[in-house]
Every structure is written in structure tokens, then in C-alpha cells.
Structure 1
């Protein structure tokens, strides 16, 4: 039985052929490929029939290969799975990665450290005089910190700063020539005035609270002294504040700050109990200091002294002494507005300014006692 088939190839070097074969049961497509190609290129080609790949071991006497069938000889393309090339799945994966969100580049830790030591902790602007630190060792430009306090724009991280009393002015030593070139010494503009170590975060620095000088820990360790090495002012161990310290050092400073606040509150409480606090929370303010007096306000000081020093028969104070009923220094006679009238003013006219002087002339309603009749 003869079999006539057509051989086509995508390779232009292999022409289209028409073959008339008398196949035996042992003949396969491998034998057909061997008659068409050299032995060196056999593995580089394969047959397809109606779009389906036929292995080389397929016999010629199979129902699939009918007479007048067309076999197409394809060259194998390099690549594919298992030989180091790319597969379709890998290509698709690369395509999808093009649309993935790009992760932000990791910041250089050296740049972060240098920025923390050379810029303001609040505004991130370069440090410039005057500079201040808080009780936790953060460094600020004083102008930026005061503006944030006035505008109430201070972040929660710096909520412990309530006013100027929580700021400590520091004196940073400028590197010679750094005023003209901001990039000198890789951006470092300050140094220790004793050892010359750069103020860039590589070395530990301390600020002295009493004088404000900033020195390296190495200088204070090598020169053991209880006085500042720059201005020779005496300081205590508690006056040392670590600048931009580690988490453990900041925790110690925070604990010390809370202890100082607690002591201050205790002192104020004791003074209030002892009657040493005045109207505005100031120490040692009695009636004489809290009263407005002087020619500038047009107040007769002698008249005020007479009012505060008169004796009442019911046991009130006479010039700070104990009265009949044993009332001590805490009791002071209550005086009216007319007692502080200027010397050249009529008492009735001066008293008419105040509501309390005319309160007895009005009747109060049941629904609203704060609105007297005739004035609502």
C-alpha cells in the first residue's frame, strides 16, 4: 500500500516536497525526518499535523496520517522551560510587576543621623543662633519653637513644652569657616570647643543647663571637673542633658523631668496652704502688693491704707494684728469700689461704674435673678 503525503517547512532552506512512500510497520516520523535532514539537526525540527504536534516515535501507518495529508516541519525555537530561557508565565509576571506600587527607597541612615543633628527638630531647617533644647535633649531653632507655641501648632511629640521655662538656651561652637560654607565637613557646622569633635551624631554630646555650653562627653570624661570647661561656671550632675540621646537616655531625662514637675507642684501646694501665694500665683503677695496703686492710675494710696488698716469691732484685722475674735493674718477687711476712687473724682459718680454699687436699687425676678427689673 502506497502513501502519498506532502512535506512543508517554515524554513526557506527546506523546499516543499511530495513523497510517495510504501511504509512498513516499523517506519516512524523519525525515519522520515532522517531522510530529509542531516543527523546533526534532527532534534531541531518536529512535525505537526492539523496544528497538533506529532512525536518522532509516531508510525507512518496510523489513521491520523491519511493519504494526501500535509505534514509541516517546524524548527524548534531556543528557550522555553527547563533550559534557562523565559516562559510565558514569567513574561506575564514581569508584565504585571510593571504596575505594582513601587516601594519607597530606603533612606540612608547616615543622612538621617546628620539631618537630626544639624537641623531643627521642629522645622527641619538648619540650626542657627539662637538655639534651644528641651528637657529631653531635642535641639530647636528658638524662633521656630516660639512661633509654634504662639500659634498653638506644636506637635504632640513636643507637648511637654508649655512655655519659655521649658526651653534651655544652648551655645553651639561653630567650626571655623562654617559660616561661609554650609557644606563644610559633610554638612557638619558645629563642634566641641574642647576636643574639636564634630557635632554630627557620631559622638555623644551634653548640654550644661546652668550656662548652656555644649560639650562632648569625651571632654567631660577626660577633664574631670565640676565647672564648665569653657566659662568655668560650677554645675551639678543633674545639670547635664544628653543631646539627641538613645531611647534609654531619653527615658531617664523624661523621668527626671516628671520628678521636677512633681516637686514644683508640691512647693506651690505648700505655699498656698501657708498663705504665701498671692492672687496671681506669685510668692509673698498680700493686699498691699496685689492692689493697684500709684499716681499713674490716679489712686489715693493713703486712702487705701486707711481702709485696709481700720479696726472693726467684730474681730477683724487691724494692720495685720489679731482682732477681738482671734482672727489671724489671713483676714482682711473687704472694701468697696468707692474706697479706691481717684482723688479728683466724686464717689457717687465713680461708684456708678460698678453694678454692685446699685444692686440694692433693683428688684430681682423669680425666673432670672441676674436680670434686675428696669434693665432687661
Structure 2
């Protein structure tokens, strides 16, 4: 029962059993999540952004994805929840001084330490290599380890001092349970934003339909009186000074065409006053001089002014 050459086959070569389940290398999975963009599968480089579900992207890859309006988008499922650039937050990462990159491995004969990471936690000093849980704040974009937030409890950021709430904390590359919690928060946040826009629209329409409301209620005295015309007339009457006696007599005589001060403008010669009173005015005959009495030069007297 031999084959060509006298070989004897074994049982596993003739009988095929069930296929073994391929196990994913955890180290390779961590390297892919923390060192490569989830959208373009390129190495992460600054500026690095994170979505509301805690995935890491290159900012230029997100911009290209948003500008691409074609139906077939490569790897679009990883960023299908990103509708605009406002849905991502630019991260403020702290460099790891012990990380040298690929500078010393030019020949390929050096061991790459996968535990080394490009970034670390600025508070505790843990490396962001996937072995420890990291999170970022949506309000400012600073990245910390979860241990730092638990050990140093505060309502402000440890780096920049910006205030934040519990909903602003987003876990980076979390588990399925973490992603479900973040997804529910994202949906609630977007629903509140839509309701806020709907409330603002009718208010803006009401303000546009009533532009003169502020002008009518500008003066507090007009609002109290209820009749702005009467209030304006009263103010005008108070400003007018009392009329002279001559004006009062003229107004009482019933002459509506003449102003009340018409009697005061009559020349003194026409009035029945004494000659001494008439001589005070320039219209009197004593104030008029003949050519012989007047000088041949010009003099400045009170009559010239």
C-alpha cells in the first residue's frame, strides 16, 4: 500500500479533520490598533484625531473621507458614524522620551520591542501601547491613562486646566461594552443637538417678524402712561416758558393769525407812550441828524451795532 518511492502516508494526510480556529495574535492586534490609522491603515502621524467611539485616525485621512462623495469608499465602515469634522477631536499627546522608532533598525538585525510606545501618560508615565487603558477628554483633547483619572480625581484637566464632565471622558480602543456605552452617549448627544436647532429656528422667526417691538418700548415713561402722544405733549408744554403780558393780551383778543408777541413788535411811535419814553428809541426824530450835523468821518456809535 505504498505510494511512489515506497512512502507510507499517515492518517492525517488521508483523512481531513475539522479546521483549527485561527487565533489572532494579541501583540499584532494591539500594534494595529495603537500605531495605525483605523481608516487608511497607515502609520499614525500628527495631527492625530479620535472619534466619539475611541478610534484613532490621521486627520488628513478623515478629511479625505469626508470630501469623497463616491458611493464606494474604501474601509468606510470604520468611519461611517463620522458625518463632519466636528465629530472628531484632535488629540494632545505626550511624547515618550524612551522611544527611538526605527532609527536603529536600518539593517533589520535589531529586535523591535513592541512594549515601547510613541506616547505616554503625562501624569503617571504609563506607555500608550494597549496594555493599559487610556482615554481622552472631548472638551480639550488631552490624553491620560485611566489610572491617572481614578487616582487623581478632579473636575478639571490635569494638563491644561479645562473643566470637563463625566460624559466628556472617552475610552480609546475600548472593549465591546465600552463601545456600546460610547455609542449610546453619541446618539443622545446628537439627538439633543437636533432638538436644540429646532427650538432656535422658531425663536429666530419670531424675532424677525417683530422687529419694531424694541422701538415701541424704548422709553419707560411711555410704557407706564399708555399714551405716548399725551406724554410727549405734556413734556413740550413744560419746556415752553410763560408768555409775556403783552402776548397774553393779544391772544385773548381773539386774533388767531398773529403770534402772541405781535403787540411787542409795534414801533413805539404808534403806541400811546410819553415823549421821554419815545426818545429812547432810534426811530424818534431826535435821533435823526441832518447832513450838516453829521461829521465827514465815520464814527462808531451805539447806533451802528
Q: CA separation in 2, counterparts of 1:104 and 1:95?
A: 20
Q: Which runs of 5+ in 2 are unaligned?
A: 104-111, 214-305
Alignment of 1:168 with 2:89, yes or no, is yes
Of 261, 286, 293 in structure 1, the residue corresponding to residue 190 of structure 2 is: 261
Helix, strand or coil: the match of 1:275?
A: helix
The answer to whether the 8 Å contact 2:38/2:78 transfers is no
User: 1:230-273: per-residue Cα shift (whole Å, max 9, x none)?
Assistant: 12222111111111111111111111111111111111112223
Other-structure match for 1:178? 99
Give the structure, 1 or 2, with the largest relative contact order (CA under 8 Å, sep 6 or more): 2
Alignment of 1:320 with 2:239, yes or no, is no
Higher helix share: 2
Helix, strand or coil: the match of 1:136?
A: coil
Alignment of 1:149 with 2:77, yes or no, is no
Alpha carbons of structure 1 residues 249 and 96: separation in structure 2 relative to 1, 3 Å = closer
Cα deviation for residue 165 of structure 1 reads 0.9
Q: CA separation in 1, counterparts of 2:114 and 2:137?
A: 25
The answer to whether the 8 Å contact 1:118/1:187 transfers is no
Moved over 3 A (4+): 90-93, 100-107, 179-187, 319-322
Q: Which runs of 5+ in 1 are unaligned?
A: 1-78, 81-86, 278-283, 287-316, 323-376
User: 1:74-129: per-residue Cα shift (whole Å, max 9, x none)?
Assistant: xxxxx99xxxxxx97x54762576xx999796431222122211211112222111
User: 1:45-96: per-residue Cα shift (whole Å, max 9, x none)?
Assistant: xxxxxxxxxxxxxxxxxxxxxxxxxxxxxxxxxx99xxxxxx97x5476257
Q: CA separation in 1, counterparts of 2:91 and 2:130?
A: 17
Alignment of 1:124 with 2:45, yes or no, is no
Other-structure match for 1:246? 175
**CA RMSD of the aligned region, Å?**
3.4
Alignment of 1:226 with 2:155, yes or no, is yes
TM-score (norm: length of structure 2): 0.56
Higher strand share: 1
Helix, strand or coil: the match of 2:182?
A: helix
Q: CA separation in 2, counterparts of 1:201 and 1:115?
A: 10
User: 1:3-26: per-residue Cα shift (whole Å, max 9, x none)?
Assistant: xxxxxxxxxxxxxxxxxxxxxxxx
Aligned length: 198
In the TM superposition, 1:18-167 aligns within 5 A as 91=10, 94=13, 106-152=23-69, 153=73, 155-167=76-88
Q: CA separation in 2, counterparts of 1:93 and 1:135?
A: 50
Q: CA separation in 1, counterparts of 2:132 and 2:101?
A: 24
Q: CA separation in 1, counterparts of 2:195 and 2:15?
A: 66
Q: CA separation in 2, counterparts of 1:149 and 1:217?
A: 31
TM-score (norm: length of structure 1): 0.46
Q: CA separation in 1, counterparts of 2:19 and 2:180?
A: 37
Of 195, 198, 202 in structure 1, the residue corresponding to residue 131 of structure 2 is: 202
Cα deviation for residue 187 of structure 1 reads 5.0
Alpha carbons of structure 1 residues 107 and 272: separation in structure 2 relative to 1, 3 Å = same
In the TM superposition, 1:331-370 aligns within 5 A as none
Helix, strand or coil: the match of 1:274?
A: helix
Helix, strand or coil: the match of 1:271?
A: helix
Q: CA separation in 1, counterparts of 2:101 and 2:26?
A: 27
Q: CA separation in 2, counterparts of 1:241 and 1:105?
A: 31
